[in-house]
């Protein structure tokens, strides 16, 4: 089974599912929680991401964008979207922690988990209410009620699991001070809801405070994470693995299960990729009236405008498909980078989890980029803003991935898979892969400042060029490193030209890495 | 590792990822395919399911439903939706087979897989084109081009994988007649596209034939599956496991990997659960104009109709939330049943895969049920049809799950986890769980025929009652079986009152099961 640092529901579940004990468990109605967790991950990632839809949709519909600047609108709306995305990820993180403690499930827990998911699915709805009525208390109130409901169900799960200890993860089941952990977990689970209760209260007479409190709900865990990380930096990242295994499932400030981080990220990438295509014909099916000129055509329009020629009608919406191809390639390649990144990482520590969340939040913004860049046909006048927004989204989505990798290097051997501990070729590949999008998006942004009139062309050129650059880059790095095979490490790392900030980081990454055991 | 009959990317990947060999592989850019596969599963399940959206949306918008009968419209549209759902699942099945043969991936394969996914994501778009312009060849043409593109990329993957054999699954890599397998697989991968090429050709002068051909593309694999199953029935389901391991990865008519079936199903359930909530405010954001009376309110409407009182506005859309709760509970509990079903199943044979696909297709129809039942406020006149449609959808979604279980029993010990081989309590639980929804939906349907005026009340009552029945049922079965603990098997099985068809099935399930080794 892979690295000792995660409880790994996957292996715990599937691995055991052929052993006698697991069979008896199944016979007693106790089940491995693996599949329920991946289902929850899929659900939560989708919920977190579809929140971009009200942003993109309210973006298109009204005429206000002709008097206001698109950039300002986007800034505020993206901020709200990010906030709720982070809220869902906080709920997800709490859920992850919860089921790192609750090792197995029975039917009651499965049903409780469904109830939890159901209350979480109301977050986007109450969110859109809040966006629609920022100053009406009811919107905030409902949102807070949702969060509290989630917290309540999760608390129920904790209580139930501690009521029948055989459902707990073995370490906790065996441990002497179980009650302590219970308080620990209940505290973490109920922290957010408590603040939201206060927020709900304030919403009744002074709503700005509620927004402040909700912001606290989001950032509190991350603040504590960062604090914990700084502490870890001072103590030094390397404890003996046995000990770190000890802490892992107990101390709730320890890394999240890598499998669940991957599952959640996959869900986000998958739904984003789907939202892109969904946008193409969602515009048609539901908003045919305003924009039928440049979306998938209405049969009436085809007769009216294109003399019944569907080809002409589709040709009219060519830019959409170009934008779609570009955006899908972007999503796919960002997933690809994320995938190869986590191939080299053994555990997701708190700062990495935070960076991953931020990266995903911007990935969730990509449909917005698509919808922006595909809207040129009808709004050429804010083309420049759109391209810049898209570049910014792509840049942040990718730079946070890059940050994950550098953080992993900084945190030393425990977080890396053995083969990449010594740098060299794999490091070069990773830096090349991860640095590609930040550089190209920055480049595109810079170009739009210089040649503002060609911004669209530049942007699409970038989107189309990058995939080929990926292949080319691999060949380049491979060739160069074939020569450098003998002397690994720093020179191998400094190889890709666009990783300026890195060598410093990897200098102090190498020194602790070299002695690390394989 | 669990049962010997599946290659199990999950375990193959994660299990190996800490061994030295795997590390070297990673260093050579070769990676376990587990995560890429789950990502693809998520993407494909979402793509397959969002195809319901054009159905639900075109359902609401125009006035045509006031002159036509809703039932007829639904019948035709659901048929088209089912067809494309099956097409995507065929693509998915081909993809699964492909990566049961291709054991590991490198960057090139990952990028090729992304290209494959991208071409698949165009299926819904071309599908909606076909729906919009049934008699224009271009729609069919584009759809076929999509399918052909998918086939081409998959063929590329096969060729590439056989070009560097270390990427193949070990059995095939080591086997003598590798070229044979290659032809096998290429044949399966290219069968569909070839037919679609013909369909595209016919679409130019006589399009009905193209529809016929596309239907063949869908059902051909299932026909061969059923044939294979009958053959298996004649030969007898039990070969020595070692032998069945032999065939498994080779013979492409053998079971699909259970993990991927689960992952795909989870994706469908997750996106369906999300589409429900998405519908709630999607109607608002994109279709506010026609229906703002009874959806999440427009700020203008709130001022206009409800004198600025948001509470009143939300109260007006109460039925929606009721319907949402009911539908989410339905989806959740169907997932729950599916989950406990696959806990007891060790491998997904062809007929079970087919039944699962059908069940999922109807699960994907649930948003339609939701949108129907939540549309009463504005179209009371076709309330009865809506309720009946919803009942039918739920009935079929659940009855196919029931069929999976009975099929598993019929196929004997190999397909079941050891603890359930001997029937008794677990069987009783499963039958109770799986029989609940078919019975209640049938009951509700019957009631609507008798008391047609109360149909909505009946339907909502059913949706709300079932979750509690679930808990109650468990207690009932548990109590009854506590008494029957001594004498297991048939009497334990006959216990739940609504499993009439079953005892016969389990009679011949028992006899082969009892001698089966644990």
pLDDT per residue as tens digits for the range A113-133: 888 888 888 877 777 777 777
CB A367 within 8 A of CB A279: yes
Beta bridge partners of A32: A104
Asked if A309 is an interface residue toward chain B (Cβ–Cβ < 8 A), one would say no
Please name the member of B36, B278, B425 whose beta carbon is closest to the beta carbon of A50.
B278
Residues of B within 8 A of A313 (CB-CB) are none
CA-to-CA separations, B290 to A289, B65, B160, B294, B383, in angstroms, rounded? 12, 14, 53, 10, 19
Please give, rounded to a whole number of angstroms, the shortest distance from the CA of A227 to a CA of chain B.
Answer: 30
A499 or B464, which is more confident: B464
In this model, does residue A284 exceed pLDDT 70?
A: no
What is residue A475's three-state secondary structure? helix
Mean pLDDT in residue range B383-396: 82
CA-to-CA separations, A269 to A135, A331, A332, in angstroms, rounded? 33, 7, 8
> Could you tell me the two tokens for A459?
């942007």
B305-331 in b/e form (b: 16+ CB < 10 A) is bbeeebeebbebbebbebbbbbbbbbb
Phi/psi region, residue A489 (left: phi>0; alpha: psi -120 to 50; beta: rest), is: left
Residues of A within 8 A of B47 (CB-CB) are 274, 277
Characterize the bridge pairing of strands B31-32 and B104-105: antiparallel
Mean pLDDT in residue range A16-33: 50
Please name the member of B15, B17, B417 whose beta carbon is closest to the beta carbon of A23.
B417
Residues of B within 8 A of A329 (CB-CB) are 114, 118
Cα R_g (chain B), whole angstroms: 25
What is residue A256's three-state secondary structure? strand
Find which of A23-37, B82-96, B305-319, B398-412 is predicted with most confidence, using mean pLDDT. Answer: B398-412
CB A513 within 8 A of CB A412: yes
CB A45 within 8 A of CB A264: yes
Please tell me the distance from the alpha carbon of residue A498 to that of residue A489, in angstroms, as a whole number: 17
Asked if B429 is an interface residue toward chain A (Cβ–Cβ < 8 A), one would say yes
Q: What SS3 string covers A62-109? A: CCHHHCCCHHHHHHHHHHHHHHHHHHHHHHHHHHHHHHHHECEECHHH
Mutate to test the interface with A, among B6, B46, B330 (most CBs of A within 10 A): B46
Asked if A469 is an interface residue toward chain B (Cβ–Cβ < 8 A), one would say no
pLDDT for res A168:
83
How many other C-beta atoms lie within 10 A of the C-beta of residue B185?
A: 25
Please tell me the distance from the alpha carbon of residue A491 to that of residue A198, in angstroms, as a whole number: 55
CA-to-CA separations, B135 to B55, B199, B207, B211, in angstroms, rounded? 18, 14, 7, 11
Asked if B270 is an interface residue toward chain A (Cβ–Cβ < 8 A), one would say yes
Crossing angle, helix B52-60 and helix A258-291, to 10 degrees?
40
Whether B125 sits inside 8 A of A417 (CB atoms) is: no
Whether A281 sits inside 8 A of B54 (CB atoms) is: yes
The answer to which of A36-45, A383-392, B92-101, B284-293 has the lowest mean pLDDT is B284-293
Whether A124 sits inside 8 A of B281 (CB atoms) is: yes
A283 or B442, which is more confident: B442
What is the average pLDDT score of chain B?
71
Asked if A241 is an interface residue toward chain B (Cβ–Cβ < 8 A), one would say no
Which residues are CB-contacts of A199 (< 8 A; sequence separation ≥ 6)? Answer: A140, A144, A209, A210, A211, A213, A214, A217
CB B413 within 8 A of CB B452: no
pLDDT more than 90, % of chain B: 2
- pLDDT tens digits for B415-472? 777 666 666 667 777 888 888 889 888 888 888 888 777 777 778 788 778 888 887 7
In this model, does residue B400 exceed pLDDT 90?
A: yes
Please give, rounded to a whole number of angstroms, the shortest distance from the CA of B241 to a CA of chain A.
Answer: 14
Please tell me the distance from the alpha carbon of residue A240 to that of residue A25, in angstroms, as a whole number: 33
Look at residues B156, B83, B77, B168 and name the one whose alpha carbon lies nearest to residue B119: B156
CB B101 within 8 A of CB B181: yes
Q: What are the backbone angles phi and psi of residue A15, rounded to the nearest 5°?
A: -55, -45
Asked if A472 is an interface residue toward chain B (Cβ–Cβ < 8 A), one would say no
What is residue B236's three-state secondary structure? coil
Whether B57 sits inside 8 A of A429 (CB atoms) is: no
In this model, does residue A37 exceed pLDDT 80?
A: yes
CA torsion sign for B257, B259, B265, B267 is negative
CB A163 within 8 A of CB B330: no
Look at residues B42, B48, B114, B92 and name the one whose alpha carbon lies nearest to residue B263: B42
Look at residues B114, B112, B97, B103 and name the one whose alpha carbon lies nearest to residue B16: B103
B209 or A59, which is more confident: B209
The answer to which of A369-383, B54-68, B453-467 has the lowest mean pLDDT is B54-68
Whether B114 sits inside 8 A of A53 (CB atoms) is: no
Asked if A402 is an interface residue toward chain B (Cβ–Cβ < 8 A), one would say no
pLDDT for res A93:
82
Whether B38 sits inside 8 A of A267 (CB atoms) is: no
CA torsion sign for A195, A196, A202, A207 is positive
Please tell me the distance from the alpha carbon of residue B95 to that of residue B111, in angstroms, as a whole number: 15
Q: How far apart are the first and last CA of chain A?
A: 16
Structure confidence at residue B295 as a pLDDT band (50, 70, 90): very low
Long-range contacts of A82-85 (CB under 8 A, 24+ apart): A82/A361, A83/A214, A83/A215, A83/A218, A84/A48, A84/A51, A84/A123, A84/A124, A84/A127, A85/A48, A85/A49, A85/A51, A85/A357, A85/A360, A85/A361, A85/A364
Please tell me the distance from the alpha carbon of residue A210 to that of residue A407, in angstroms, as a whole number: 34
CB B439 within 8 A of CB B349: no
Stated pTM of the model: 0.76
CB B61 within 8 A of CB B290: yes
In this model, does residue A20 exceed pLDDT 60?
A: no
Residues of A within 8 A of B474 (CB-CB) are 107
pLDDT for res B518:
31
Please tell me the distance from the alpha carbon of residue A456 to that of residue B107, in angstroms, as a whole number: 30
Crossing angle, helix B34-50 and helix B70-101, to 10 degrees?
170
Residues written for chain B: 518
Residues of A within 8 A of B50 (CB-CB) are 274, 278
Mutate to test the interface with A, among B310, B469, B474 (most CBs of A within 10 A): B310
Residues of A within 8 A of B46 (CB-CB) are 46, 270-271, 274
Q: If you measure CA to CA, which chain B residue comes closest to A428?
A: B27
Helix (H) or strand (E) holding B105: strand B104-105
Asked if B132 is an interface residue toward chain A (Cβ–Cβ < 8 A), one would say yes
Tokens 């070692």 map to which residue?
B242
Please tell me the distance from the alpha carbon of residue A134 to that of residue A137, in angstroms, as a whole number: 8
Asked if B105 is an interface residue toward chain A (Cβ–Cβ < 8 A), one would say no
Q: What SS3 string covers B386-445? A: HHHHHHHHHHHHHHHHHHHHHHHHHCCHHHECHHHCCCCHHHHHHHHHHHHHHHHHHHHH
A444 or B296, which is more confident: A444
Q: What are the backbone angles phi and psi of residue A62, rounded to the nearest 5°?
A: -80, 180
- pLDDT tens digits for B150-206? 889 989 998 988 888 888 887 777 877 788 888 878 887 888 888 888 888 888 887
Characterize the bridge pairing of strands A104-105 and A31-32: antiparallel
In this model, does residue A50 exceed pLDDT 50?
A: yes
A428 or A345, which is more confident: A345
CA-to-CA separations, B114 to A332, A450, B179, in angstroms, rounded? 6, 34, 26
CB B368 within 8 A of CB B331: no
Q: If you measure CA to CA, which chain A residue comes closest to B296?
A: A129
CA-to-CA separations, B448 to B328, B383, B385, B444, B468, in angstroms, rounded? 22, 10, 10, 6, 22
Helices within A164-257 (DSSP H only): 170-174, 178-205, 207-235, 241-250
Look at residues A204, A86, A199 and name the one whose alpha carbon lies nearest to residue A144: A199
What is residue A348's three-state secondary structure? strand
B493 or A392, which is more confident: A392
In this model, does residue B491 exceed pLDDT 60?
A: no
Whether A339 sits inside 8 A of B39 (CB atoms) is: yes
Residues of B within 8 A of A344 (CB-CB) are 26
pLDDT for res B424:
65
A236 or A7, which is more confident: A236
A–B: how many Cβ contacts below 8 A? Answer: 265
A437 or B286, which is more confident: A437
pLDDT for res B375:
59
Structure confidence at residue B287 as a pLDDT band (50, 70, 90): very low
What is residue B499's three-state secondary structure? coil
Residues of B within 8 A of A133 (CB-CB) are 299, 302, 310
Q: Is the ipTM of this complex over 0.90?
A: no
Look at residues B10, B433, B1, B518 and name the one whose alpha carbon lies nearest to residue B260: B10
Helices within A344-486 (DSSP H only): 350-364, 366-373, 383-410, 425-450, 455-484
Structure confidence at residue B57 as a pLDDT band (50, 70, 90): low
Count H helices, E strands: chain B? 23, 2
What is the average pLDDT score of chain A?
71
pLDDT more than 90, % of chain A: 2
Chain A contacts in chain B segment 111-130 (CB below 8 A): 111, 114, 117-118, 121-122, 124-125, 128-129
């Amino acid at each position: 089974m892979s690295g000792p640092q995660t409880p790994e529901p996957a292996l715990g579940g599937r691995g055991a599912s052929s052993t006698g004990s697991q069979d008896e468990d199944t016979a007693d109605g106790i089940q491995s929680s693996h599949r329920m967790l991946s289902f929850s991950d899929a659900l939560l990632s989708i919920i977190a991401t579809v929140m971009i839809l009200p942003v993109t949709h309210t973006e298109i519909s009204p005429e206000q964008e002709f008097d206001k600047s698109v950039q300002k609108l986007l800034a505020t709306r993206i901020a709200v979207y990010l906030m709720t995305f982070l809220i869902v990820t906080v709920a997800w993180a709490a859920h992850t922690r919860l089921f790192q403690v609750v090792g197995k499930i029975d039917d009651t827990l499965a049903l409780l988990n469904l109830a939890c998911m159901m209350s979480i699915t109301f977050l986007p709805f109450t969110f859109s209410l809040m966006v629609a009525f920022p100053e009406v208390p009811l919107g905030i109130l409902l949102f807070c009620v949702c969060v509290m409901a989630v917290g309540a169900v999760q608390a129920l799960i904790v209580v139930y699991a501690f009521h029948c200890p055989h459902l707990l993860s073995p370490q906790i089941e065996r441990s002497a001070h179980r009650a302590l952990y219970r308080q620990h977990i209940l505290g973490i689970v109920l922290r957010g809801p408590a603040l939201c209760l206060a927020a709900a209260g304030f919403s009744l007479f002074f709503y700005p405070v509620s927004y402040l409190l909700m912001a606290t709900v989001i950032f509190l865990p991350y603040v504590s994470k960062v604090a914990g990380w700084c502490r870890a930096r001072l103590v030094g990242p390397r404890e003996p693995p046995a000990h770190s295994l000890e802490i892992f499932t107990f101390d709730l400030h320890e890394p999240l299960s890598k499998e669940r981080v991957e599952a959640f990220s996959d869900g986000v990438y998958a739904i984003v990729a789907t939202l892109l295509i969904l946008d193409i014909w969602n515009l048609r099916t539901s908003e045919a009236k305003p924009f039928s000129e440049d979306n998938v055509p209405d049969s009436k329009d085809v007769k009216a405008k294109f003399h019944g020629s569907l080809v002409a009608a589709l040709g009219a919406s060519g830019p959409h498909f170009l934008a779609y191809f570009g955006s899908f390639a972007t999503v796919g390649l960002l997933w690809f980078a994320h995938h190869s990144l986590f191939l080299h990482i053994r555990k997701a520590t708190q700062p990495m989890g935070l960076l991953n969340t931020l990266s995903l939040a911007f990935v969730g913004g990509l449909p917005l980029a698509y919808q922006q860049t595909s809207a040129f046909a009808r709004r050429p006048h804010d083309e420049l803003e759109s391209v810049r927004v898209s570049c910014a989204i792509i840049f942040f989505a990718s730079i946070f991935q890059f940050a994950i990798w550098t953080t992993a290097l900084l945190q030393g051997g425990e977080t890396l898979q053995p083969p990449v501990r010594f740098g060299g070729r794999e490091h070069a590949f990773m830096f090349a892969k991860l640095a590609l999008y930040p550089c190209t998006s920055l480049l595109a942004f810079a170009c739009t400042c210089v040649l503002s009139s060609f911004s669209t062309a530049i942007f699409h050129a970038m989107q189309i060029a990058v995939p080929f650059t990926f292949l080319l880059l691999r060949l380049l790095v491979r060739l160069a490193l074939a020569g450098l095979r003998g002397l690994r490490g720093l020179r191998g790392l400094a190889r890709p030209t666009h990783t300026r900030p890195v060598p410093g980081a990897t200098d102090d990454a190498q020194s602790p890495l070299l002695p690390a055991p394989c």
